[in-house]
Structure 1
Amino acid sequence: MVSFQMEEMLMKYQLALARLFKPNKYALYRTTPLRYIFLHLLILSTLLAAPAASQFLQSMTSLSQLIADKSEDIPDFTIKNAQLHLPSHQEKVIHLTYGTVTFTENDAGLASDQFTFSKHHIMIKGIDPISYHNFSTITDRASMLDALTTFSSSIYFYFGLIAFTLVMIQFFIILIKLASVSLAAHMAAVAFRRKSRYMNWLKITTFLLTPAVLMQYTGLLVPNTLTYPLSWCIIILLTCLAIYHLPVIKKTRQTN
């Protein structure tokens, strides 16, 4: 029974996605049940959050490897006044399966670094630099090993927490975009004398965002300055097509 319901739900969801290729049927999205709307929004949010979550997992995997297999390569550094000091001021690069970890008294590491312990910050790939002031318990090699060992023992818990947070952030951003585009589309439809309701536009726009999100996802995998403006061009184009195919409000005849 449950399997049949899941198959039926999947078929209806696939039918809703197939309408993206038929602009004359965009108006039918107004009949889409809310559960499919929330499911689609969640899928889009997960898609946009996936690259950052994957990068974080890769960094955490590198951290675990550093502790498990390469801990003897970590230099005997000290941190005083939120500044890293290395023995003989010599830079140390540790090679891992996924990139490198660099200890340096410069302000930047290597392009291949998953982690960079620089003069004033810890830099994690894909994340803003973090000052040593935020790691008051780490003062030398021994204290860092203790802290990282504790952290790596709960790596999947932290990954789940970060992944959930990233998905919720993307979900919130998509909701703002959805509400804004739907309002603009509703106002444009009214201006062109089309039958329009704002609540219906929320459902329609949920699916019209799909190609734009795929474009943004491509831009996250292969950075390109054109992907973001192109995604908005796609949204505008599909919205115009949806407005064009809405029923026209007929003028009422006045009787003398």
Structure 2
Amino acid sequence: MKYLLALKRLFTPQKYPLYRTTPLRYVFLHLIILATLLAAPAASHFYQSMTSLSQLIEEKSDAIPAFTIQNGHLELPDHQKTVIHLNQGSVIFTEQESILSDNAFTFSRNQIHIPGLDPISYQNISTITDRSSLIDTLKTFTSSVYFYFMLVLLALILIQLFIILIKLISISLVAHLAALLFKKKSRFMNWLKITSFLLTIPVLLQYIGLLVPNTLSYPLSWCIIILLTCLTVYHLPGNKKAR
């Protein structure tokens, strides 16, 4: 398969300029695969959270405290924190504002915290006002959990794809200008194809950084893409008109 041959070319820097001959369908396929890879950790966290909510409703709904939402703030009986332990993580009800847990679905004072996703303000969920409304909402939600999961997964992939495209265009433009500066034969559209595959290793590093959070994965990914881009410029044929 030509796509697999294009991936093998990553191990031969002198052949990087040949990515300009790669069909566009393989370029688009590769970008979607990279976006899906980066979206996978957040999607996995979301799915685990939905599984926990399903178990909460089916097995431990009686443990949900009699809370109320007033003016966008969570209020608990006697201001007592409640932790409900489930098979995958836990569900926490607390009036605190700062949340440090990475494996808990948390109802804090002002927001709902879902691992891997941005916090959701109570003001954006008008259907949840107290314990009974929460149970009703979760029953409706968990009955179509796979549908909502597919929607969230699609949204996450599109977000990552947009970020990758912005990075792709920026790097390709800089690389094209650098190639012209060094009097190399260069076309911007060719660089878009080349950079699409050069992003593979940096994206893998970012993916590892999402699985095992560290401060080196992101800057290291940029160092690698700069190195690979420089290798490509070096191996580009010279511009005959400039001689």
Is it true that 1:236 corresponds to 2:226 in the alignment? yes
The percentage of counterpart residues that share the same residue type is 68
Show CA shifts across 1:88-127 (max 9, x none). Answer: 3322110001111111222245626522122232222233
Q: What is the 5 A alignment of 1:109-188?
A: 111=101, 113-188=103-178
Partner of 1:8: none
Matched AA of 2:67: F
Q: What is the 5 A alignment of 1:18-167?
A: 18-108=8-98, 111=101, 113-167=103-157
Alignment size in residue pairs: 243
Return the index of the structure with the highest Cα Rg.
1
Give the alignment partner of residue 216 of structure 2, picking from 215, 218, 226: 226
Partner of 2:6: 16
Could you tell me whether the CA contact under 8 Å between 2:42 and 2:117 is conserved in 1? no
Matched AA of 1:152: T
Tell me how far apart the structure 2 counterparts of residues 83 and 177 of structure 1 sit (CA, whole Å).
39
Tell me how far apart the structure 2 counterparts of residues 12 and 56 of structure 1 sit (CA, whole Å).
35
- Structure 2 length as normaliser, TM-score? 0.94
Is it true that 1:210 corresponds to 2:210 in the alignment? no
Matched AA of 2:16: Y
Tell me how far apart the structure 2 counterparts of residues 236 and 126 of structure 1 sit (CA, whole Å).
29
Q: Residues 18, 132 of structure 1: CA spacing in aligned structure 2 closer, same or farther, 3 A cutoff?
A: same
Gaps of at least 5 residues in structure 1 are 1-10
Cα RMSD of the aligned pairs, angstroms, is: 1.7
Tell me how far apart the structure 1 counterparts of residues 176 and 239 of structure 2 sit (CA, whole Å).
14
Tell me how far apart the structure 2 counterparts of residues 221 and 156 of structure 1 sit (CA, whole Å).
23
Q: Following superposition, which runs of at least 4 residues in structure 1 exceed 3 angstroms of deviation?
A: 250-253
Tell me how far apart the structure 1 counterparts of residues 115 and 62 of structure 2 sit (CA, whole Å).
23
Q: Residues 108, 27 of structure 1: CA spacing in aligned structure 2 closer, same or farther, 3 A cutoff?
A: closer
Could you tell me whether the CA contact under 8 Å between 1:101 and 1:113 is conserved in 2? no
Could you tell me whether the CA contact under 8 Å between 1:78 and 1:85 is conserved in 2? yes
2:104 is paired with a residue of what secondary structure? strand
Tell me how far apart the structure 2 counterparts of residues 18 and 213 of structure 1 sit (CA, whole Å).
16
- Structure 1 length as normaliser, TM-score? 0.89
Q: Residues 73, 192 of structure 1: CA spacing in aligned structure 2 closer, same or farther, 3 A cutoff?
A: same
